[in-house]
Amino acid sequence: MKERTRETLTAYTFLAPLIVFVLIFFGYAFARTLYFSFTNYNLFVPPTFKGIDNYAQIITEPRFGIALVNTLVYCLVVTTLQTIGALLMAIVLNQKLSGRGFFRTAFYLPSITSSVVITLIFIWLFQPRGVVAYFINILANHGGPIFAFVIITALAQAFQVWFERRQGLPAGPFDPALLVVSLLVGLVGAWGLTAFGVVRVTDAPPQLFDWLTRQDRVGGVVSYPLLFIIIQNTFTTIPTLMLFFLAGLQGVPQSLYEAASIDGTTPAQKLRFITVPMLRPVTFYVVTTGVIGTLQLFDQVSLLQGTAPLESVISLAYYVYNNVFSPGGEARVGLASAAALILAAITLSVVMIQRRFVVNDEGYS
Amino acid sequence: MSLVAPVNSARPLPDAGWLARRRWSRAGLVYLTLILCSFVFMGPLLFATLSSLKTDPLEYPPRLLFEQLNPANWAAAWTLGRAGSGDGWLGGFAPGADVSFTTRYLVRQGQQPVPPEVVVPRRRPGLAQAVAPIYAADYAKLEAPRQVSATPAAMPDGSPGQLVTYRFRVTYPGQGPKAPKLPLDVTAPIGQVFAGATLAPTLIERAGRVQTYDNAAPGFVGYLLRNYVRVFDNARSITTGQSLFLQWMLNSFGYVLLKVLSTVLIASMAGYALARLAFPGRGSFFVLILFLMTLPNQVLFISNYLVLRDGIWGLSRLWGQPGGMLNSLPGLWAVTFVSLAAVFLMKQFFETLPRELEEAAKIDGASAFQTFWRVIMPNAGPALVALTITTAQGAWNEYFWALVALQTPDDRYTLPIGLNALQRGYGAASDYSLILPGAIISAIPVIILFIVFQRYFIQGVATTGGKE
C-alpha cells in the first residue's frame, strides 16, 4: 500500500512539468477558445456574451465558405496525388539495387528543410520568367519532336511485342528489354524527323504566366496560387510518405510474389492482387495522416500573403489566424474561435476514423 | 545493349539469355527512373543553391554556367581585393589601394577607338542603414584610361575590326576610412562592343554600353558569395544597425537549444512515468494526450498569445511587466515547451526496455529517481538521439508559433519568420538575390544534421508518423 502511494507520488512528480504545460497551453487555451467562440472579443475590450451568433454568422460569411472549399479541395487533391506518388516511388525503390540508400536520401532531402525554405524556392521557380516558365517554354517549343518520339516509341514497342509473341515468347506489353530498344528507336526517329524538317522545333517566346497572382480558377474550383501550393506540397510530402510504404513493402512476404510468378502473373497483376491489398493498413494510415496534415494548411498561405490574392489561397487555418491578426482591421476573435473549433471538429472526426480502423499503430513500422 | 531487337530463333521457350536481357534492361530502366526522380526532387534545391550565387537569380533564360562559376573571375577578384585593401577574401577599398583594371572593346574597322568613361559612383548600399555609409567615391583618385594594345580581330557579325585594350588605375591616396566597396561605372562610346575586362561586370546596361561593377575590388568571397555577404549586410535593424539576418540566426540557434533541452528532459520523464509507473488515471491521461495531440494549433494560439501578453491568473508579475513574454524568445519557448508527440515517442520507447533493468536497481535499493537517472536514461541513448535530432529540426523550422509569439520588432524574429519578412520586402520587387541565399543558409544546418544522423531521421518518421 505504502509502496503504491510512493509510486503514484513519483509518477506525478515526473509528470508535473508536463501537466502544468498541458493545463496552461492546452486545457486553458481550449477552454478559452470555446468561451471566446460565444463572445465578441477583439483582443482589447473585455468580451461580451453573444450566444451562438458567431456560428450563425460564420456559415453565411463568403470568405469562410471560400476557405472551407479551398481547404477541402486542397486536402482531396494533395492526399490523392501524394498517396499514389508515394506508393509508385516506393515500389520502384523497393528492389535489390545498389545505391538504394543514396536515392532514398536524395528523395528525402527536400522534405527535411522547412516549409518556408521550400516554399520560397518554389515561389522563385514559379515566377513569370522563372525556371518553370523556361521548362514549359522548352516543352512547348519541342512539342513536335516529343510527339514524334512518343508515337514512334509506341509503334516500335507494339511491333516488337507482336513479333516476339508470334515467336511464342512471353513478352508483355511493357517488356523492359524491348522497351529499351523502342526508346532508342524513338529517340533516333524523333531526331531524324527533326533533322529532315518533318517536325519542327519552334522558337516561340515564353508565355508570361503568373501562377501566383492570377484570380481565375482552374475548372472554377482551384485557383492558380492554390494549384501552386498543391504542387509544392505534393513535392515535399511524397518522400516522407514513401518511407511508410517502403516499410510496409518490406513486410510483404516475398513468397507471395514467388508463388504468383509460378502461376505466371504479370507485374501489373502482382501490383493489383498482392501489393495493394497487402499494403491496405499502411495506405489507410498514409491517407488519414495526409488528410489530417493537409487540413492544417497554413505556412504556404501565410508566405504568399502580399503576393497572391487572399481569397485565392485562404485556408481554414489561415482564416482563423487572419481574423485574429488581421492587417489593418479589428480582431474578430469570436468568429476566429468558432472557425478554429470547426476545423478541430473536422480534424478530430478524421482522427476518430483513423483510430477506429487502424487496429494497432505498429501496422506501419 | 544492341540496337537490334533480340530475335530468338525458332525456340518457343525463353532461354537464359532472353531472361538475362530482360533483367538488365529492367535494372537500366529502374535506374533511369530513379535518376529522373532524383532530378525532380533534388533539382529545385540544387538549382536554387546554384542560382543564389547569380547577380540576378531570375535571369532569363536561366544559365547553368555563369560568371560567378568562372575560376578566372575568382582569381581576378582575389587579386583586385588584395590591390584594394590587402584583403583577398572580402576585398574593399582602403588607404593605399592601387587597383589596376583593364577593359577590352571590339572596334569596327575604320572607326577611331575612344577610351571609355570611368566613374566611381555614389551608390547607396542596402535598405535600412542606421550609420552613414562610407563612399569610395569620396576618397578614390581615378587615372584616366589609356590604350595599351590594339590587335586585329573580327567583330561579332564577322566583319573586320580590332580588339582594343584600355587600362586605368583607381588609387586611394592619403588617409581615411576603409570603404566596403569600390563601385565602378564604365561607359563605352556607341559602336564599341564590350569584349571582356579584368573582372566580369555585375550588370551590363543600356544595350551593352555601360558595364556596372557593384564592387571592383571584391575579393574571392565578396565576389563568389556576394549575395550571401549582402544578406548579412543589407538587412539591418533600424534601431540598432545590427545585421538582422545574423540576429535571426542567433535567435534560431538559441531557440533550438532551449527547446531541445526542455523537450528531451520533460518528454523522457513523462514518457517514463506513462510507460512504467503505476498510478491512478494513467490510462485516461494517456488518452487525453492522444486527444490533445490532434488539436490544430489554431484552437490554441489565441489564448496562448494572450497568456504571453497578459500573463495568467496574475502570474505575469513573476515574469515582469505585462507583455514581457510576448515578442521574446522565452515566450516562444514557453508556448512550445514540450511537444506531445515527443512524450508519445518516449513512452513507446520506454515500453520496449526490459523490466529487469529496474528490478535489478530496486534490489540494490535505488529510489525511483536514481533508477531513472542512473539506469533508464543511460539505456535510452538511441531514442534520445532520435528525439534530439527531430526536435532540433522541428524547432529550427518552427513557423506558426514563431509567427504568433514574435511579431515586432524584427530583430526578435527567428529565421523562418525573418525569411517571411525578406519575402515580403524583396519578393514584391522580384529581387531574389537576397531571398534565395537566405533560404539556402537556413536550410544548411538541417541538411548537415540530416546527412550526419540520417538513420535517426528515418527512424523518427517511422515511429512518430512524421508529425511536426
**What is the Rg, in whole angstroms, of the alpha carbon atoms belonging to chain A?**
27
Q: What are phi and psi of B22, to 5 degrees?
A: -65, -45
CB nearest to A175's CB, from B22, B438, B442: B22
Distance from CA of B250 to the nearest CA of A (A): 17
Q: Is the confidence at residue A363, as pLDDT, over 50?
A: no
User: Quick one: closest CA in A to B337, which residue?
Assistant: A21
In percent, the amount of chain B with pLDDT more than 70 equals: 91
Chain A nearest-CA residue for B281 = A8
Please tell me the distance from the alpha carbon of residue B267 to that of residue B336, in angstroms, as a whole number: 12
Q: How many helices (H) and strands (E) does chain B have?
A: 16, 8
Residue B463 and residue A365: Cβ atoms within 8 Å?
Answer: yes
pLDDT given at position A327: 80
Contacts A15 to B, Cβ<8 Å: 269-270, 273-274, 285
Of B131-140, B183-192, B395-404, the least confident: B131-140
Name the DSSP class of B280.
T
pLDDT at position A228, please? 96
pLDDT tops 70 at residue B125:
no
Q: What is the mean pLDDT of residues B390-411?
A: 93
| Closest alpha carbon to B453 in B395, B377, B382 | B382
pTM, 2 dp:
0.92
Q: Note whether B423 contacts A108, CB cutoff 8 Å.
A: no
Give the ipTM of the model, two decimals please: 0.91
Tell me the residue length of chain B: 468
Residue A82, number of CB atoms within 10 A of its CB: 26
Nearest chain B CA: its distance from A197 CA (Å): 24
Flag if A29 and B303 touch (Cβ within 8 Å): yes
Per-residue confidence band for B303, with pLDDT thresholds at 50, 70 and 90: very high
pLDDT surpasses 60 at A172: yes
Asked, as a colleague might, if the bond just before B121 is cis with ω within 30 of 0, I would say no
Give tens-digit pLDDT for A100-138.
888 888 888 888 888 999 999 999 999 999 999 999 999
- Average pLDDT along chain A: 90
The residue in chain B having the minimum alpha-carbon distance to the alpha carbon of residue A185 is B3
Question: Could you give the 3-state DSSP secondary structure of residue B219?
Answer: helix
Structure letter (DSSP) for residue B238: T
pLDDT at B91: 92
Contact between A25 and B18 using a beta-carbon 8 Å cutoff: no
Instruction: Say if the Cβ atoms of B60 and A206 lie within 8 Å.
Output: yes
Query: Residue range B122-151: average pLDDT?
Result: 81
Q: Determine the 3-state secondary structure of B213 from DSSP.
A: strand
B439 to A176: CB separation less than 8 angstroms, yes or no: no
Q: Do A29 and B47 touch (CB under 8 A)?
A: no
Task: Give per-residue pLDDT as tens, B424-452.
Answer: 988 888 889 999 999 999 999 999 998 88
Cβ–Cβ below 8 Å for A114 and B5: no
Does A302 sit within 8 Å of B399, measured CB to CB? yes
**Distance between terminal CA atoms of chain B?**
47
For residue range A42-84, list pLDDT tens digits in order.
888 889 998 899 999 999 999 999 999 999 999 999 999 999 9
Q: Count contacts between A and B (CB, < 8 Å).
A: 314
Contacts of A341 (CB under 8 A, 6+ apart): A33, A34, A37, B299
User: What pLDDT does B129 receive?
Assistant: 53
CB contact under 8 A, A121 and B48: yes
pLDDT at B468: 36
B143-152, B225-234, B456-465 — which is least confidently predicted? B456-465
Nearest beta carbon to residue B400 from set A106, A298, A351: A298
Cell of A39: 463572445
Q: Decide: helix, strand or coil at residue A152.
A: helix
Phi, psi of B95 (to 5 degrees): -50, 140
Per-residue pLDDT, A104: 84
Spatial separation of the C-alpha atoms in residues A58 and A334, rounded to whole Å? 10
Contact A304, A227 (CB under 8 A): no
Contacting residues of A for B343, CB less than 8 Å apart: 18
User: Which residues in chain A are contacts of B285 at CB distance < 8 A?
Assistant: 15
Distance CA B210, CA B198 (A): 15
Question: Does the structure show a pLDDT above 50 at B15?
Answer: yes
Looking at the complex, report in whole angstroms how far the Cα of residue A98 sits from the nearest Cα belonging to chain B. Answer: 10
Pick from B168, B170, B166, B171: nearest CA to B189: B166
A319: nearest CA partner in chain B: B298
d(CA B303, CA B295): 14
pLDDT at A232 over 80: yes
Chain A interface, best mutation among B11, B276, B298, by max A CB count within 10 A: B298
Residues of B in contact with A8 (CB under 8 A): 277-280
C-alpha cell at A289: 495522416
pLDDT of residue A219: 83
Question: How is residue B34 written as a grid cell?
Answer: 530513379
In chain A, what residues touch B365 (CB-CB under 8 Å)?
A: none
Residue A152 to residue A164: CA distance in whole angstroms: 18
Instruction: Write out chain A residues lying below 8 Å of B303, CB-based.
Output: 28-33, 36
Partners of B304 on chain A (C-beta within 8 Å) are 25, 29
Q: Are B217 and B80 in contact (CB under 8 A)?
A: yes
Q: How many angstroms from the chain centroid is the CA of residue A93?
A: 19
Mean pLDDT (whole number) for B206-211: 84
Our CA-based measurement puts residue A147 at a distance from the nearest CA of chain B, in whole angstroms, of 20
pLDDT at position A361: 45
Q: Report yes or no: B99 and B238 within 8 Å, Cβ to Cβ.
A: no
Residues 6+ apart with CB under 8 A from B225: B53, B437
Residue B8's pLDDT is what?
A: 46
Q: Is the confidence at residue B2, as pLDDT, over 50?
A: no
Residues of chain B positioned with their CB less than 8 A from the CB of A167: 7-8, 10, 12
A30: nearest CB among B10, B295, B442: B295
Split at pLDDT 50, 70, 90, the class of B464 is very low
B279 vs chain A: nearest CA distance in angstroms?
Answer: 5
Q: What is the DSSP secondary-structure string of B112-171?
A: PP-PPEEE---PPPSS--SSPPPPGGGT-EEEEEEEEEEEEEE-TTS-EEEEEEEEEEEE
Query: What are the b/e assignments for B333-351, b being 16+ CB within 10 Å?
Result: bbbbbbbbbbbbbbbbbbe
Radius of gyration of chain B (CA): 32
What whole-number percentage of chain A has pLDDT above 70?
98
What distance in Å separates the CA atoms of residue A358 and residue A288, rounded to the nearest whole number?
10
Which chain A residues are Cβ-neighbours of B48 within 8 angstroms? 121, 124-125
* Amino acid residing at A31: A
Report chain B residues whose CB lies below 8 A from the CB of A133: 60
Does the structure show a pLDDT above 70 at B64? yes
For the segment B75-117, what is each residue's pLDDT rounded down to a tens digit? 999 999 999 999 999 999 999 999 999 999 999 988 899 999 9
CA of B165 vs chain A CAs: smallest distance (Å): 36
- Find the CB nearest B44 among A29, A125, A175: A125
From A26, which residue of chain B is nearest by alpha-carbon distance?
A: B300
Check residues B69 and A6 and name the one with the higher pLDDT. B69
Do B230 and B433 contact (CB within 8 A), yes or no?
A: yes
The percent of chain B in helix, strand and coil, each rounded to the nearest 5, is: 55, 15, 35
- Average pLDDT of chain B, as a whole number: 88
Q: What span, in angstroms and rounded, lies between the C-alpha atoms of A64 and A51?
A: 19
User: What is the residue whose three cell numbers read 517514463?
Assistant: B272
Query: Closest Cα of chain A to B49: distance in Å?
Result: 10
CA quadruple B5, B10, B12, B18: dihedral sign: negative
What are the grid coordinates assigned to B441, written together? 543558409
Residues of A in contact with B342 (CB under 8 A): none
Q: How far is A198 from chain B (nearest CA, A)?
A: 23
Cβ-contact B84, B97 below 8 angstroms: yes
| Interface mutation vs chain B, best among A26, A71, A337, most B CBs within 10 Å | A26
